[in-house]
């Protein structure tokens, strides 16, 4: 079945540690890719997006993600996390086939806890 | 605050009752989406409007669910004869007019439905 997979459901890190969250999708053809973040008590916010061009995209708050088409992956990275990065992170895909460009398909999310 | 707003934020209802949720998108956004999110999962697409036209509905949207966007501005989502399985967070998102095919969606805070 076509889907979006996030490999880590829970991640615990200490401040200043590096972060990489995995995301793989199973849709062929052209896709738009997103990472959304949900801080405790807040709504979903866009962290970064990839539509075309440079496969390494930079987002807010020092986050970046790399699109590797051959691996159907869009992993999220941050070199040094802060306590304020504690949140839930969702990878989302916007597949273009059959007019599917209108909807986002989300992964199950990764809960990140950063300890001071 | 000119973001997406949803009302109510919380709703507790008894099984078998009807409920209606409202979403006000960002002004001048012509695209509006409804998603449902259950515990431990990412949001799942329910339906999509372009202006007042409902252009796509998920198979998740059973006959008990109906959504409208009568004047192409706010939208309502009604659930008839609620069931305990309907308990979830219902999210609304909007996106702006065509700028290429880069549909970036902005999410509201959600309505949390609890069916007892």
Structure confidence at residue A94 (pLDDT)? 87
- Whether the CB of A59 is below 8 Å from some CB of chain B: the reply is no
Residues of B with CB under 8 A from a CB of A: 31, 33, 35, 40-45, 48, 50, 55-56, 91, 100-110
Q: DSSP of A91-111, one letter per residue?
A: EEEEE-GGGGGG--EE---EE
Q: What is the pLDDT of residues B29-68, one digit of tens each?
A: 889 999 999 998 999 999 999 999 998 899 888 899 999 9
Residue scoring higher pLDDT (A81 or A28): A81
Residues of A in contact with B89 (CB under 8 A): none
Q: What is the pLDDT of residues A58-114, one digit of tens each?
A: 999 999 999 999 999 999 999 999 999 999 999 999 887 656 567 899 999 999 999
Task: Please report the residues numbered 4 through 43 in chain A whose beta carbons come closer than 8 angstroms to any beta carbon of chain B.
Answer: 4, 9, 32, 34, 36, 42-43
CA-closest candidate to residue B90, choices B59, B65, B54? B65
- The verdict on a CB contact (< 8 Å) between A109 and B42 is yes
Residues in Cβ contact with B59 at an 8 Å cutoff, skipping those fewer than 6 apart: none
Residue of A10, A27, A29, A104 for testing the chain B interface, max B β-carbons within 10 Å? A104
């Amino acid at each position: 079945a076509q889907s979006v997979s996030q490999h880590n459901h829970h991640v615990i890190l200490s401040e200043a540690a590096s972060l990489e969250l995995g995301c793989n999708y199973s849709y062929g053809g052209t896709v738009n890719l997103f990472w959304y973040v949900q801080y405790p008590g807040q709504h979903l916010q866009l962290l970064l997006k990839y539509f075309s061009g440079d496969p390494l995209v930079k987002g807010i708050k020092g986050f970046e993600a790399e699109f590797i088409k051959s691996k159907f992956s869009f992993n999220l990275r941050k070199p040094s996390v802060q306590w304020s990065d504690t949140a839930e992170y969702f990878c989302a895909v916007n597949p273009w086939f059959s007019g599917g460009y209108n909807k986002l398909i989300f992964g199950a999310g990764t809960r990140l806890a950063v300890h001071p | 605050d000119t973001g997406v707003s949803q009302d109510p934020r919380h709703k507790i209802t008894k099984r078998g009752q009807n409920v209606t949720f409202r979403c006000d998108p960002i002004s001048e956004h012509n695209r509006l989406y409804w998603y449902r999110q259950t515990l431990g999962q990412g949001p799942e697409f329910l339906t999509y409007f372009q202006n007042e036209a409902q252009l796509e509905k998920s198979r998740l949207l059973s006959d008990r669910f109906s959504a409208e966007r009568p004047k192409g501005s706010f939208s309502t989502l009604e659930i008839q004869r609620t069931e305990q399985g309907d308990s979830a967070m219902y999210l609304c998102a909007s996106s702006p007019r065509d700028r290429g095919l880069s549909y970036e969606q902005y999410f509201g805070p959600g309505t949390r439905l609890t069916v007892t």
